[in-house]
Structure 1
Amino acid sequence: MSSDSTASDVTIDDRIAAMACPVDRTILDPAVQDDPWDFYNELHAQCPVFPMPEIGGVMVTKYEDVRFVLTRPDLFSNSGRAGGAKKGLQVDNARRYREILRLRGWPHVETLQRCDPPEHTAYRRLVGKAFLPRQIKAIAPQIEEISTELIDGLIGAGHCEFNLDYAMPLPGIVIAEQLGLDRSEIHRFNRWAHAMLALSMRPLTEAELLETAEVELEAQHHLAAVFEQRRAEPSDDLISTLVHAHEGEDNAEQLTVAELQNLMHQLITGGFETTTSALNHGMWLLTRRPDVQDRLRSDLSLIPAFIEEMLRFESPVQGLVRTATQDVEVSGVVIPEGSIVMVRYAAANRDEAVFDRAADFDLDRETTKHLAFGAGPHFCVGAALARQELTTAFTHWIERTSSIELARPFEGAVHEPSFILFPMKELPLRFTLA
């Protein structure tokens, strides 16, 4: 079949089902999501382009292949308009969810990470102003103050539930203040973030779908009121910047409320979920590697290397999806036009062809070209902020403790089920003061 034919879902499925692969597990299994590393190794060795007929697509796992997909938006679109099937990604639930938002709030329009150049370029230019290196340098003292305040409230007890007591509040407060939202409501915003991501995390029941929609509607109407307030009374925050972005620009149109909602959706979820996961995994790693703790305490200059290796080793974003815009050959496999392409960053970061002893955490690793923040035009806009938050956090915890360990063993799965992220359920710690 030629790439310019109109292919039905069945035809795509048939072509994907015909791809030979002896691996009989799937990333859609919550047990595999919780501990995916052996599965990724199997795919690297036996079928790096893994057929997934259940979603009408494939999963790409090798480093060079993942980088190829990410850097070719002409071949692998980030836009829903590319027409992928997305059957296994709750397409019926997603349609119903979108309809609820359309009727009672604002629809999910395509902005920033959900569109391709040249539209993506304009949105990124607007949002990126808040995440330039000079902007991150300017707010570094603020991040230091927030971290110190949080640790001051925990350190005397000698124990904490790190996920809720520190890993969520630190980036949550930072992004709330950058956006111009009330930092005292971060638990409410965290609930919004969970709801906004729910459809991409796991299958939802009817009741869960309706409950999740209500939470996002709450977020939308709250934010819409903030947009109106900032239109009348601009302030020095990112919401004001976006609301007034068209002013002073030739032929620039004011962002619609739907566009603003979608940008907030991405900034809130990115600000809470991914950095929280990185903080949790980094601290969990330190409990497993007291030798690394000792090295960091003896030489704080190793903390940036620790962060980069941690991001490679247990990537907070396990993978995202694209849609093939035409038949494309990857590692000898022809990916059909219109099929979903699950781009697995975490698998790429464990590729032995690029990272020697990839399954080992190596503080002295020379290669730091991991894909935890992606690559190409959709490289994470908040990467510099995340790195600053991680650097501040681990510096403070290493400086103020002499040991950090798990307070108790985990019971059952360590991670919440998720198609795309790697969220820990909890992280109970105990520590001694320095």
Structure 2
Amino acid sequence: MTETADSLADLSLLDPAVQDDPFDAYDRIRAMPGIYRMPETGFYIVTRYDDLRQVLTDPATFSNNVDRASLQGEANSKIMQDYLNEHGWSHVQTLQRTDAPIHARYRKLVDRAFTVGRVRNLMPHIEDIAHRLIDRFASRGECEFMADYAVMLPGTILAEQIGLDASELDTFRRWADALLAPASRVMTPEELIANADIELEAQHHLARLFEERRANPQEDLVSALVMGHQDTEQPMTVNELLSMMAQLIAGGFESTTNALGHAMLRLVQQPDQMAKLRADPSLARNFVEEVVRYDTPTQGLRRRTTRDVELAGTLIPEGSVVIVRYGAANRDGAKFECPHAFDMERRNVGQHLGFGAGVHFCVGAPLARAEIASGILAMLERLDDIRLARPLEQPIHHPNFLTLPLRELPLAFTPRG
């Protein structure tokens, strides 16, 4: 039966229950003709694989220049921006929130920071951190995987890159959560100001660090960004650097944390898949891609139309917010056979859109892949009989409009001798 807009009246993508498990909702939206428009926000929701490809590869029509706090509405977004500007630095559009030709300048600078060589050089350090984290809980026979490992692995690496040490990881997480919050959930003006105060802590720390790295560059991400311009290029301002760091922290921390959590959840829920990966670690690359396809960490991002455009038979007016739902496209049966089955040996898994597509393909994808693969393989190397310590409490995800964050993942296991 083909769904209609009227038959979707009981569906809301802002409902925490739907955000906990959105895939039935995605199936229903895909089954309707045209593009679904959220009644609560007016956002146009794109869920089919081919439609997403069209949006992602046409930035001239579907602009990336969207306020990251657009979910808050224009008035509340202005309150937050004015407050940040008064006490620190307001948000400016860089990297993923810009279009050509401006985007090319930022992408060039960040590509110099995220080289294949830099990620390759980080691999031994990633593996060392993974084993040191496992050392902390292996003898206990149990852990809370999200807090003890999935947060700590990418968090430690990124915290080091912005001048914090392991003892300050809680501070880093507070900052990362504050940077993500305005794009993730609707907030009151009071909540936005309280959240902005936390963001301001991060801003002033990073502003001091930018100056330190200009004077004394080190082998870290901040130095690479601060010093990444060539003699003929304009250095980035503090506002621009803060914007770049906010995006890199958001993409490099929460997304990787979510992917690590779901990677382990899939293995404990499907022991046959865990046995395959133990027997053949070379499957890790495909395993990571299937995790990103199946439980896409960033379920959606925003675009804004620059003109009236027709998509899948729906006329979308100029200036409309369009939400590309990567998580929906990655479960589209027109593209992926048995889309709701997890299969690390899926033949076309590399065609998922979990890292985006086109000129805005995720710059941190190589690092994320390395952290997920190394993190999971280290767990399998050190621990046997990995299983849920108890049934997961429902709902299993924190409410979030754009991402899919697990609340917890309590594990029990037998440490290897």
TM-score of the two chains, using structure 1 as the length reference: 0.91
- How far 1:281 sits from its partner (Å)? 0.7
Residue in 2 that maps onto 1:7 = none
- Residue 166 of structure 2 is aligned to residue 214 of structure 1: no
Residue in 1 that maps onto 2:395 = 413
Residue in 1 that maps onto 2:253 = 272
Measure the CA separation in 2 of the matches of 1:320 and 1:405: 33
Q: Please give the per-residue CA displacement for 1:337-360, whole angstroms capped at 9, x wherever unaligned.
A: 111101000000000000011011
Residue in 1 that maps onto 2:40 = 54
- How far 1:233 sits from its partner (Å)? 2.1
Within 5 A, what are the aligned runs for 1:24-423?
24=9, 25-47=11-33, 49-80=35-66, 86=70, 89-246=72-229, 248-250=230-232, 252-368=233-349, 369-423=351-405
Q: Which moved more, 1:183-192 or 1:415-424?
A: 183-192
Structure 1 residues not aligned, in runs of 5+: 1-18
Measure the CA separation in 1 of the matches of 2:235 and 2:397: 41
Residue in 2 that maps onto 1:433 = 415
- How far 1:190 sits from its partner (Å)? 0.9
Equivalences, count: 411
- Letter of the 2:31 counterpart: A
Measure the CA separation in 2 of the matches of 1:204 and 1:274: 22
- Letter of the 2:397 counterpart: H
Residue in 2 that maps onto 1:23 = 8
Q: Please give the per-residue CA displacement for 1:126-167, whole angstroms capped at 9, x wherever unaligned.
A: 112222222211111111111111111111111111111110
- Tell me if structure 1 keeps the 8 A contact 2:255–2:297: yes
- How far 1:245 sits from its partner (Å)? 3.1
Measure the CA separation in 2 of the matches of 1:210 and 1:179: 24
Measure the CA separation in 2 of the matches of 1:95 and 1:29: 25
- Tell me if structure 2 keeps the 8 A contact 1:90–1:199: no
- Tell me if structure 1 keeps the 8 A contact 2:112–2:224: no
- How far 1:89 sits from its partner (Å)? 4.0
- Letter of the 2:409 counterpart: L
- Letter of the 1:161 counterpart: E
Residue in 2 that maps onto 1:4 = none
Which secondary structure state, in structure 1, belongs to the residue aligned with residue 194 of structure 2?
A: helix
Which secondary structure state, in structure 1, belongs to the residue aligned with residue 148 of structure 2?
A: helix
- How far 1:93 sits from its partner (Å)? 2.4
Q: Please give the per-residue CA displacement for 1:299-332, whole angstroms capped at 9, x wherever unaligned.
A: 1112212111111110000000100111111111
Q: Please give the per-residue CA displacement for 1:341-391, whole angstroms capped at 9, x wherever unaligned.
A: 010000000000000110111222101110000111111110000001111
Which secondary structure state, in structure 1, belongs to the residue aligned with residue 372 of structure 2?
A: helix
Runs of 4+ aligned structure 1 residues displaced above 6 Å come to none
- Tell me if structure 2 keeps the 8 A contact 1:307–1:390: yes
- How far 1:181 sits from its partner (Å)? 3.7
Q: Which moved more, 1:341-350 or 1:19-28?
A: 19-28
- Tell me if structure 1 keeps the 8 A contact 2:44–2:323: yes
Measure the CA separation in 2 of the matches of 1:211 and 1:89: 14
- Letter of the 2:346 counterpart: R
- How far 1:238 sits from its partner (Å)? 2.0
- How far 1:53 sits from its partner (Å)? 3.7
Q: 1:159 to 1:60 in 2, by over 3 A?
A: same
- Letter of the 2:58 counterpart: R
Q: Please give the per-residue CA displacement for 1:11-41, whole angstroms capped at 9, x wherever unaligned.
A: xxxxxxxx95532212121111111011111
- Letter of the 1:270 counterpart: G
Which secondary structure state, in structure 2, belongs to the residue aligned with residue 80 of structure 1?
A: coil
TM-score of the two chains, using structure 2 as the length reference: 0.94
Measure the CA separation in 1 of the matches of 2:383 and 2:22: 32
- How far 1:43 sits from its partner (Å)? 1.1
Which secondary structure state, in structure 1, belongs to the residue aligned with residue 315 of structure 2?
A: strand
- How far 1:424 sits from its partner (Å)? 1.0
- How far 1:273 sits from its partner (Å)? 0.5
Aligned-residue RMSD, C-alpha = 1.8
Which secondary structure state, in structure 1, belongs to the residue aligned with residue 40 of structure 2?
A: helix
Residue in 2 that maps onto 1:13 = none
Q: 1:216 to 1:110 in 2, by over 3 A?
A: same
- Tell me if structure 2 keeps the 8 A contact 1:48–1:62: no
Measure the CA separation in 2 of the matches of 1:127 and 1:139: 17
